[in-house]
Amino acid sequence: MKNKANNTNKKRHQLNQLIKEEQEHVMGDIEDLFSEEDTNRIRSSLLEWYDKNQRDLPWRRRTTKSGNGKNVKKEEEEDDEKRAYGVWVSEVMLQQTRVQTVIDYYKRWMQKWPTLQHLAQASLEEVNEMWAGLGYYRRARFLLEGAKMIVARGSEFPNTVSTLRKVPGIGDYTAGAIASIAFKEVVPVVDGNVVRVLARLKAISANPKDKTTVKNFWKLAAQLVDPSRPGDFNQSLMELGATLCTPLNPSCSSCPVSSQCCALYNSKNDESVVVTRYPTKVVKAKQRQDFSTVCVVEISGSQGTLHQSQPDSRFLLVKRPDEGLLAGLWEFPSVTLDEEADLAMRRKLIDQLLKKSFKLNPPKNCSIISRVLVGEFVHVFSHIRRKIYVELLVLHLKGGMHDLYKEKDSGTMDWKLLDSDAVSRMGLTSSVQKVYSMVQNFKQNGLSNSSIPSRKRVKCS
């Protein structure tokens, strides 16, 4: 048994050694991956292509200078800072989000907060409302915190990678983008598009998510950066990955650096090799499944009906905690579940929440005009697949709405009451917008006769 165990350990060691040697072989000496000749060709070819083919995106536009001498220099310095701010906003928005989606958000953002100083005066709620629909809301919070920090220190906009990295939410990629594009610092950027281009140029099959591999891609990108036009070169590399060197259908015939592409060369000389083999596909972690029951609570000032909101009715919205998923955002009262529950259990949990947080306790201080299950849908976060049940609960407060406000100071949640127009105008996350849309459609379309609940006042189950 001992010999068998030793043999097993020996084989495992040999396998690990082979894997290590393969990884070292794949990456090789990173400084020698590109020859000086190839480096110069890639730089000139990419920049020439970029000058002719770059997309017209709002964050790439610069203002035109007028005059001369010191005034022009001052304008250029101010424009550099304004452009740095614009690059920062755009790069943060572009993380995990398509360019076409970002364009309108970027324009609205810059119209409302055209400078760092304007943004620093905003509230988190204002920023979240402007961000609504983009997802990954922590990005918006970091933008606001970073702006406030820079302005509070009374300093100029950080203009190097090392100083930019000290700003909350600015990592290596964003720091490199701002420093190279706005301030011409000769530094690389590495995002998914850049990794794909570099992996294909040198046919690198190592795991692109591996920490050592990531570091090597940064070294490789640093080797290529054009010292005279670092920002334009970095953008050309990203542009190539976004438009031609795409994940599934690369346009190799139109690629300006196809003659330097090892992946393309290999595919032409070996039928078993395809360009899209690079970079190696990484299996994504399985999303966690959970469940949520959402209760859209409508407080009616009168004895209202199920299908039509009364002019004096209000919807109850609550603010999420300042930490965690969707931090600081507004939503309808909800309870998250680790496992699926039936309607009776979901209603019981909602009733407990409403009683504890808002002192809503029918029939003691309110009566139920109607309570119906509207529907369900699945919302996917980056790491969570959430099944959401939507319920509409219309209440009439016996003492009027002021009774609810009397309990507000002692409550455990930050909340507010809004009419339907205010809810429609409010910046809400896509899942909350979906919930509200389902309720509105339900109220407008009505129910079939077989599913209309009794108008009799009932207790919360």
Dist. CA 323–CA 43, nearest whole Å: 44
Dist. CA 307–CA 301, nearest whole Å: 15
Spatial CA neighbour of 56 closest among 255, 239, 245: 239
CATH of the structural domain 288-451, one choice from 3.40.50.150, 3.90.79.10, 3.40.190.10, 3.40.50.10890: 3.90.79.10
DSSP states of 277-306 as a string? G-SPPPPPPPPEEEEEEEEEEEEESSS--S
Cβ contacts of residue 263 below 8 Å, gap of 6+?
A: 199, 200, 201, 203, 273, 275, 277, 278
Spatial CA neighbour of 118 closest among 90, 138, 89: 89
Dist. CA 329–CA 331, nearest whole Å: 7
Where along the chain do its domains lie?
288-451
User: Contact 396/367 with Cβ under 8 angstroms?
Assistant: yes
What is the pTM for the complete model shown?
Answer: 0.80
Give the Å distances, CA to CA, from 322 to 128, 268, 316, 437.
Answer: 12, 54, 19, 26
- Give catalytic residues, as residue numbers: 91
pLDDT tens string for the chain (461 positions)?
Answer: 545 555 555 555 554 454 444 444 444 444 457 899 999 999 999 999 999 999 999 999 865 444 454 444 445 556 889 999 999 999 999 998 999 999 999 999 999 999 999 999 999 889 988 998 888 888 999 999 999 999 999 878 999 999 999 999 999 999 999 999 999 999 999 999 999 999 999 999 899 999 999 999 999 999 999 999 999 999 999 999 999 999 999 999 999 999 999 999 999 999 999 999 999 998 888 888 999 999 999 998 765 555 555 667 899 999 887 776 777 789 999 999 989 999 999 999 999 999 988 888 888 888 999 999 999 999 988 788 999 999 999 999 887 776 676 665 555 678 899 999 999 888 788 899 999 999 999 988 864 333 334 333 333 33
